[in-house]
Amino acid sequence: MILTVTLNTALDLTYRVPALKPHSSHRITEVTERPGGKGLNVARVLAALGHEVTVTGFTGGATGRTVQDLLTATPGLVDALVPVAGPTRRTIALVDDRTGDTTQLNEPGPTIAPAEWSAFQEAYEDLLAPASAVALCGSLPPGVPVGAYAGLIRLAKAAGVPVLLDTSGEPLRRGIAARPDLVKPNAEELAELTGSHDPLRGAQDARRRGARSVVASLGTQGLLAVTPEGRWHATPPARLHGNPTGAGDSAVAGLLSGLAEQLPWPDRLSRAVALSAATVLAPVAGEFDRGAYEELVGRVAVTGEVTAA
C-alpha cells in the first residue's frame, strides 16, 4: 500500500467561461468538481495505474463530505481522512476558453486545533505500518505547526518507510532537515530554498541540507535528478501543447511508485516524465491520457551518469 498525506485537502471546482473579463458578469458554460490537494491528485494517478493507495489528511464540513463522497467513487482509493470541526477548503479555477488561460482562487483551509493535530499524528503512525512508501504533499492549513512535515518524516523513517516530500517555503526548509528520501521541488521552489538559480547547484545544495535525493521539475525541460547513485536529466520526446494543470502531481506519482518499487533511477524518471506529459495532453485538466503515457514512456530521453556521490 502507498500512503499519501494531504493536510490541506480541497474540493477543486473548475468553471469554464467563453472569455474572462475583469469587472463583469460571466455565464459559466461548464462546471466540474473533484477531490483536490496535491496528495489526493497523486493518489488518483497511482490508483489509475493499479496501485493500492490510502489517502489521509483532514476533512470537515459539507465540503469535506463532498470530497469523501467523490473519493468513494474512485476505484483503488481507501479514505483514511481525519475529521475536523472546520470546513474543507475550496479551490476555484476559472478557465478562459478564448485564451486557454486559467485563473486560480485558493481558500486557506480550516484552522486545525491542537487536539485535531494530535489525532492526525496518531492515525498517521498507524497507517505507516502497512505502507511501502509515503508522500507528504502540499501546503499546511492554519494551526498546523510549520515544522509538521519534519515530524512526519521522522515518524516515517522510524517505521522504515521511504518518504517523499513535495511542498515549498518554510515547511520545505524545515522538512528537508529531517532527511527525507526524496524531495521534488520545481525550479522556483528550489531557488527559494537554496538561493541558487542554477538547478544543478540548487539540487546539490538541497542534498547537503538533508535530502537523500532531489528531483527538480524544470517545466518543459523535464526533470533533473541528483541522487547518491548518480545524476540524470529526463526530457519528453517533443515540446507538448496542452493544459499543464496537475502535471507536477503526476510526476510525483511516477516518482513515488518508483520509490515504492525500488526501480532504477532512469526508469523512475521515464515514468514520471511520461505521466507528466500525458497529463498535459489529456482532454480533461488534471487527468492523464493512458494511451499517451504508454506511448511516451519508452521515448523519454534520460541522460546522465552513475556516480559515487
Cell numbers found for residue 137: 504533499
Residue 206's φ and ψ, nearest 5 degrees, are -60, -35
Dihedrals φ, ψ of 180, to 5°?
A: -65, 155
CB atoms within 10 A of CB 242: 17
Closest by CA to 133, choosing from 225, 4, 250, 226, is 4
165 φ, ψ (degrees, to nearest 5): -115, 125
CA 252/CA 2 separation, integer angstroms: 13
What's the sign of the alpha-carbon dihedral 110, 114, 120, 124?
Answer: positive
CA 7 to chain centre: 12
DSSP string, 197-234: SSHHHHHHHHHHTT-SEEEEE-GGG-EEEE-SSEEEEE
If we measure between CA atoms, which residue out of 8, 172, 182, 184 comes closest to residue 86?
Answer: 8
- How many angstroms separate the Cα of 231 from the Cα of each of 22, 224, 286? 46, 8, 29
Q: Which three cell numbers stand for residue 268?
A: 523512475
Residues labelled as active-site residues? 249
- Cβ(249)–Cβ(306) below 8 Å: no
Question: How are the residues of the chain apportioned to helix, strand and coil, as percentages rounded to the nearest 5?
Answer: 40, 25, 35
